[in-house]
Structure 1
């Protein structure tokens, strides 16, 4: 496994968070990083991956940090409502997203600016923890594709598995011991070169989104050693709520 020295300038939030989070992950997980050297050493890019648990942003940050980059997440706006937490997250460079709102455009602009500034922006294209009964990637939302087409940056797919063993989707209590294996496989950049110069029609954006989700799903298949369903789970078609705990009837701001 190739591990790169962290050389990016870190603000105070990173100096506080990194040793705490790393210590917690070392105590509760083992990890297998596959092809991590495909994470670019420099320059702006989007890292896209499947979403299986509320803790997988931490494990994703682990692999990104281990390969010399600082991740910036498109994070649900609800996390920023607490003043102290919001202040901390902004200091760490995280970007609030008001999902399913016209105000989400601000997050798009911030993500584009971050990529153009040479940063790593992490996006979960599904937009929420997967609703697929067996944990497979669902259909994707357009955010990652639109950022990629706007900037022409590399889109690096990751397939990951194991975080759901620490904290199952929407579970209240984590299962910390014995330590859980987190596996992440990094793929080659998703080829969107033929779409970058085309008009940003819904069809073009959908095509880019489908390619991104196909790349992620193929990596998850490799990590799990299983074959994904022929048709990805679609929340709209299945009539499943798109934000919050799908097992609760009252709306809430959650993933």
Structure 2
């Protein structure tokens, strides 16, 4: 785990020249990235043991990975400690939101299955997708909060704006969460570190969506070269001819 001061992320120095050097550097950097993601996941698991601190710990992980997208590397442990002091309320709001979404989705799916009506499976699928999309939006809100440091409402508006500018953002977050859940189902021990890779994926999606939103061309009114002349333009043209 890197605990150096915040600054540009260090790159492994090349030991060989040519293509092999580039491959080795990429392999070393990828290994370092995976190790630090796992370290963040372990810190999240440790700081989430009281349960009520899980949301604040997630915000700490999101803060670390948001800094990575700017080629900065904050200290991990102090970032988590600071988040528990300053982000506990916001983290609790996120936890409650996810709990409500999960409970509502679960009971709606159960009731739809118990109704035994034609097409109930389609309704269950739609409810599951809606719940997953809402949970993905909450994760995107937390990533926006980590990036901007704004309030809950501002972060919600920011996440909704990004989701509108980049419609693939929420589906990608849901897909990343589904992949992580599948891996945990196959290897339960990954539960200790899976939060790190998932938070990293959400931060990357947020950064890409932010770039997409910032690079979107501003809408301009179309020019009308053949527009009908107005009385004002006709009067100005007549005055010009009479001079």
Tell me if TM exceeds 0.5. Answer: no
Higher strand share: 1
TM-score of the two chains, using structure 2 as the length reference: 0.25
Larger Rg: 2
TM-score of the two chains, using structure 1 as the length reference: 0.25
Higher helix share: 2
